[in-house]
Each structure stands twice: as structure tokens, then as C-alpha cells.
Structure 1
Amino acid sequence: MKFGLQIGYWGAQPPVGQRELVTAAEECGFDAVFTAEAWGSDAYTPLAWLGSGTERIRLGTSVLQLSARTPTACAMAALTLDHLSGGRHIVGLGVSGPQVVEGWYGQPFAKPLARTREYIDIMRQVWAREAPVASPGPHYPLPYTGPGSTGLGKNLKPIVHPLRPDIPIFLGAEGPKNIALTAEIADGWLPLFFTPRMADMYNEWLDEGFARPGARRSRDDFEVCATAQIYLTDDPASVLAGLKPVTALYMGGMGSEDTNFHAEVYRRMGYGDLVDEVTALFRSGRKDEAAAAIPDEVISESTLIGDADSVREQIKVWEAAGVTTLLVAAGSVQQIKDIAALA
């Protein structure tokens, strides 16, 4: 089992002390560090800044939003960072949701699976640099010849020769079709709210993708980097209580009442009635009641909580479920050292 450090995205102000955390993660043997983006800070700028002080640790995004960049722009950023880091970049991508895509980026959300497939194909054409990049569309036609076109567009190769012709791509996927697509066309999966209890279901979806003609990977060389916070404590009850408000937000307050992909994850875990209850409470402004309605086991099955010996045993369960990397957050250098000592 490997560990990755999840830096996430900024809140109202830039966070302090992240350079120290990333340095400690590298010194303690963490495999990777990941940044994220929502509708504030972007993922690439902090990753380049933080990565400039490292030598070994892999630099990933978890995740870049497809609609934030055209596929060629994303490929340019990736090949640039891959050069600057000596070949340590991981491109983590996700489609986000309609509220962000249409409300923040001003783009249509339709056909996310087809857009993802087309997007990745274009990125890999850029890195391969075997021929001018071309795509018939319909989502990212190259060259563009639609309404308003001058007719002067031409297919181009990147000026810069990529350091690696095949930079690894991980996908943040939650639904069965998206997870199967991930196994077919990507190099790794970035699950959120993973639980070993549902491993058979996840593996069925992954195996569907691995079995498709032309699949890039097999179970043996595919990475599963699961976000799974680790809390070393002798007081699990207080930790569980502190996590319930955040869980209520994801379960009942993300997206819209009718379209919340995170809520669907919990429904597939068997918590449909709870999702309905938490959503109704959260969206009526009763957020404290929404948090209180969540049972402890809902939190604990997606989180590793307990003393060091207990967490070590839990890590074995996650590893047996197919997870190759636990992607964790940390608030201090000492916390990173404590987590590293579990391996």
C-alpha cells in the first residue's frame, strides 16, 4: 500500500504551510501529492509551485475539471509540468457536474462519457506527436469549422517534444458506466467515498472496462488511488462527530436536489432512505439535524479511524479490496510522519 497526500483546493484564502507538508511527505516516502480545483484556485499553479521543491514524489491532480480547459490546453499544461518535474506528472481528470460546468464554465454538460473519451484521445495525440492533432468531434472538433469559423484553422503538432509520449491519466469516476470507461481508457481510478464493503461491485464495473477491446491496462498494472482519510486517535467518537457535517454536505447539499452525483454513491452503498432524509433536512436549512441523522457506520466504512494497530489492520482490508494508494489529507508534518509509520 502506498500513500498520497491530498492538498485539495484553496478556501477563502491561500493556505499556509503546504510546502512543509509536501516536503515532509516526500521525505517520509509518500508516493504522490495531488491538488484539486473547484471554482476558486486552479490545480496546476499550486502543483507546479509545490512540486518545484521536490525531487521524487509524483505530482498529480485530483481532479482537473474537463470544462476548465480544452483538451489541447490541458495537454500543453501536462507536458510542460512533466518536463519541469522530470517525468513525475499524473493527469487526474473529472467531468464535474452540471452546476459547475454550466454555471461556472458556461458550457453544456451533455454526454460526459463521450466527451471524456474524445478529450483523452486528443491529449494522447498531442503527447505522441506522431502527426498533426485532428479530431472529427463532435465535442472538440479540430480544426474547428463550425459557426463563426474563418476556415483558416489547420491541424498542428506541439512545438515542444513531450518528455514522455504517454503521460498517465487517472479519472475521477463515481457511476458504473464511468468506472468501466476508466478501466478501458485510463491508467488509474480516483474514487471518492470508496468502501471495501462494495469492492465486488466496483471490481465488476472495472472488469467490464478491462475486458473491452483495446483496453490500455489490466488489473495488474492499473492504479486505484482512493481518497480515504486516516485519523489516529483513541477517541473515534469525537472524530466521527466532527466528520458528519461534511458528509451531510456531500450527501444532501452538493449539486441540485435532483442531480447530486455524490448522493448517488451513497444510494449505491445502500443508504437511499438516509440520503432522502439528509437531503430534505439540509436543503430546508436544518444542517445540524442533517448531520445528526448520519449513523457512525456510514462515516467509518469510508474512513480509517482508530489507534495505530487498528488502522494497520484496516489498511490491509483496503489493500485486499484492490486499493493501491490511500490518498489522505494532513494538517501537520507530525501527522504525515504518523501516517507514514503505518506502512
Structure 2
Amino acid sequence: MRLGIQLGYSGEGFAADVDEVVEYEEAGAELVVVPEAYSFDAVSRLGFLAARTRRMELASGVMQIYTRTPTLTAMTAAGIDYVSGGRFSLGLGASGPQVIEGFHGVRYDAPVARTRQIVEICRRVWRRETLVFEGGHYRIPLPGEYAKPLKLINHPVRPRIPVLLAAMGPRNVALAAEIAEGWQALWIDPRNAARVFGDALADGRSRRDAALGPLDISVPVPFALREQGLDRHRAQLALYLGGMGARGRNFSNDLVRRYGYADAATRIQELYLSGRRAEAVAAVPEDLVAATSLVGPPDEIRRRLDALAGAGVTTLLVSPLAAERAQRVKDVQTLSTLLATR
């Protein structure tokens, strides 16, 4: 199981976060993932990280499929891979209509079909093919006397940059298992993962090209090696279950329902959308908070790592929780050792 670091939606503290990531690299972390929602973009921060790190891999977690043209997505990924010396993986996701339509002013439609076509276009660009694509959602070049098929001027470091797809629903998870090098999960409850995701993963893998290799499954978790309050994690769960989408169109809420928390999911959403956010946070079940975090002494961490591995997780993306930076780095080093000696 690889050890990665999941960054947050950093703002003023990003330079300090990167200083800390450099220490995590020395402590054994192999990957750092940069998110993009309606925050600062991921690309500029990934470029900063490429200049400051030496060995660890970099990934977007995730760039939204609607906010860039497919060709620009490919160009951007090739650029980050170039400045990092071939250390980048392109994490893509559909986000949701609240962000895409509400913040970007772009219609949210056909996420599965669009994702499939974008991945194909990206791979053609990275192979430096003269780009001609006729799909249901993208046509390149457009018809007209001025449009001309082109290929990427530069030679990418790699003709195939790994693609990681963020997915929660069955169709998206199946797509990730079929066409991507990796699947970025949001939360995995090891007790229920096989029931919730097993059929979709099996469906996608039945059509998977063997050249892709085994599917990498990554999951973010808050992490500490001692008793640690999980107030921030509880609040994030409430935000995603209650506020990241409308009633009837909240993918995180749907996922937690499939995990068996239907009543709690309904109550959290009702409280959050009615403005009673503190009550929504308090309504998040303790069992859900514990199942989606990695907190405890080494023996408990080992047990949880075994459970996550049994659920198919191959990359752990931790958000260290200790109050002091030195302790966070030390905890990551200890976790690296625990993973190496499993």
C-alpha cells in the first residue's frame, strides 16, 4: 500500500504546507494530491510542488472535466508531467452541478460519457497523434474552412500519463475500473466496500485492457497515532452530506445511504440546508466518523490498514491531524514504517 498526502483547499498557508510536504517526502510519503473544487486551481499549486519535491509523485485530486477543454486538459497534464520529470498523474472528476453550473456557468450533463471521451482525447494528444475526434460530446476539429487538425508541438515525457478517476456512483466506478489507471474514492468503509462497490468494480474490470495494469484504488483519511479529536472530519462529512449538492442530487449523500446510513443522511441534509449547520455536524454518526478515519495507537492502525487492504485499497492518502508540525511528520514516518512492515 502506497503512502500519500492529501492536501486541503489551501490558501494563505500553502507555502508552509509545501515546506511540510517536503518533510513528508523525507519521512516516506510517496505521493501528494492537490484538490480543486471552487478554490485556487490545482495546476498552479502542482507546479509549485513539482519544483520543491524530488521523488514523490504528484496528482490532481481532482481537476473537473467541465472546466477545461479536453485538449487543454491533456496539454496541462503533459506540462505538469514535464516540469516534474514524469511524476504526475491526472486525477479527473465530474464534481457536481452545484459547482459546475453554479460557479462555472457550464451545463452539467452526461458525466460518464464525457469522461470516457476526455480520457481518449488526452491519450491521443500524449501520443502526439494528429487530433481528429468525432464523439457524441466533442468534435475536434470543428467543421469550417479555418479549422485544421493539429498535434501537440512538444514531445511529452511519457506517451501515457496515468489517469485517476474520482467516482462514487456505480456507473462512474465501473468506468474507472475499465479505462483508468486508478480510482480515487471519497470514503471507503471497509466493512461495506464489497457490497457497495463490488459489482461495479467487477463490471469495469471485465472490460479492462490488461495493458493498464492492476487498478490502483486510493482513499483519503484523516490520520493520527493517538487519541485525536475528529471535529474537522465530522464537519467535512456534514458539509459533503448536507451542503455539497441539492436535495435529490447529492452524490456524497447517496454514497452514505448505500453504506447503510439512510436516516442519518436525510437528517443531516435537512438540517444543513435549513441553515442549522451545527446540528447537522452533531447528527453525523460516530460510527461513520470512525469508519472513514485512521486514528489510534499503532496496533489499531495496523488492524485498520489490514481492513483497508482487504477492501482493495492500494494507496492511502492521509491528512495528518497532530497539532504540531514536527509530530505530524513523525507520525507520517511511523505510518510509512507500519506500511513497509505489514
TM-score > 0.5 by shorter chain: yes
Q: Which amino acid aligns with 1:62?
A: G
Q: 2:226 aligns with which of 216, 233, 239?
A: 233
Q: Which amino acid aligns with 1:274?
A: A
Change beyond 3 A, Cα 1:306–1:89: same
Matching of residue 156 in structure 1 with residue 150 in structure 2:
yes
Change beyond 3 A, Cα 1:40–1:120: same
Change beyond 3 A, Cα 1:251–1:213: closer
For the residues of structure 2 that align with 1:8 and 1:157, how far apart are their CA atoms? 35
For the residues of structure 2 that align with 1:199 and 1:314, how far apart are their CA atoms? 14
1:316, distance to aligned residue in structure 2 (A)? 1.5
Name 1:302's counterpart in structure 2: 292
Matching of residue 177 in structure 1 with residue 171 in structure 2:
yes
Name 1:136's counterpart in structure 2: 134
For the residues of structure 2 that align with 1:305 and 1:17, how far apart are their CA atoms? 24
Stretches of 4+ aligned residues off by more than 4 angstroms? 213-216
Name 1:284's counterpart in structure 2: 274
Q: Please, which runs of 5 or more residues in structure 2 have no aligned partner?
A: none
Change beyond 3 A, Cα 1:261–1:215: farther
Matching of residue 55 in structure 1 with residue 54 in structure 2:
yes
Secondary structure at the counterpart of residue 147 of structure 2: coil
1:8, distance to aligned residue in structure 2 (A)? 2.9
Structure 1 residues 178-187 or 254-263, which shifts more? 254-263
Structure 1 residues 326-335 or 176-185, which shifts more? 326-335
Name 1:199's counterpart in structure 2: 193
Spell out the pairing of 1:83-94 with structure 2 (5 A cutoff): 83-94=82-93
Cα distance per residue 1:258-297 (max 9 Å; x no partner): 2111101101101111111111111112222222222210
Change beyond 3 A, Cα 1:333–1:207: farther
For the residues of structure 2 that align with 1:205 and 1:85, how far apart are their CA atoms? 34
For the residues of structure 1 that align with 2:248 and 2:158, how far apart are their CA atoms? 42
Change beyond 3 A, Cα 1:97–1:216: farther
Secondary structure at the counterpart of residue 218 of structure 2: strand
TM-score, with structure 2 as normaliser:
0.92
Name 2:306's counterpart in structure 1: 316
Q: Which amino acid aligns with 2:330?
A: K
Secondary structure at the counterpart of residue 153 of structure 2: coil
Matching of residue 326 in structure 1 with residue 316 in structure 2:
yes
Contact 1:209 1:215 survives alignment (8 Å): no
1:113, distance to aligned residue in structure 2 (A)? 0.4
Cα distance per residue 1:209-256 (max 9 Å; x no partner): 0101646545xx22111111212223x5xx245532222111111111
Q: 1:212 aligns with which of 203, 207, 214?
A: 207
Contact 1:18 1:50 survives alignment (8 Å): no
* Identity, % of aligned positions: 39
Matching of residue 168 in structure 1 with residue 158 in structure 2:
no
Q: Which amino acid aligns with 1:259?
A: R
Q: Which amino acid aligns with 1:141?
A: R
For the residues of structure 1 that align with 2:135 and 2:232, how far apart are their CA atoms? 46
Q: 1:246 aligns with which of 236, 243, 249?
A: 236
Secondary structure at the counterpart of residue 199 of structure 2: helix
Secondary structure at the counterpart of residue 152 of structure 2: coil
Q: Which amino acid aligns with 2:79?
A: T
Contact 2:179 2:208 survives alignment (8 Å): no
Q: Please, which runs of 5 or more residues in structure 1 have no aligned partner?
A: none
Secondary structure at the counterpart of residue 320 of structure 2: coil
1:138, distance to aligned residue in structure 2 (A)? 2.7
1:339, distance to aligned residue in structure 2 (A)? 2.5
For the residues of structure 2 that align with 1:175 and 1:38, how far apart are their CA atoms? 19
For the residues of structure 2 that align with 1:216 and 1:263, how far apart are their CA atoms? 35
For the residues of structure 2 that align with 1:199 and 1:242, how far apart are their CA atoms? 24
Q: What is the root-mean-square deviation in Å for CA atoms of aligned residues?
A: 1.7
Name 1:44's counterpart in structure 2: 43
Secondary structure at the counterpart of residue 32 of structure 2: strand
Secondary structure at the counterpart of residue 317 of structure 2: strand
Secondary structure at the counterpart of residue 229 of structure 1: strand
Contact 2:93 2:167 survives alignment (8 Å): yes
For the residues of structure 2 that align with 1:111 and 1:34, how far apart are their CA atoms? 26
For the residues of structure 2 that align with 1:232 and 1:186, how far apart are their CA atoms? 33
Contact 1:24 1:337 survives alignment (8 Å): no
Structure 1 residues 118-127 or 46-55, which shifts more? 46-55
TM-score, with structure 1 as normaliser:
0.92
Q: Which amino acid aligns with 2:136?
A: P
Q: Which amino acid aligns with 1:246?
A: Q
Name 1:35's counterpart in structure 2: 34
Change beyond 3 A, Cα 1:86–1:241: closer
Q: Which amino acid aligns with 1:335?
A: R
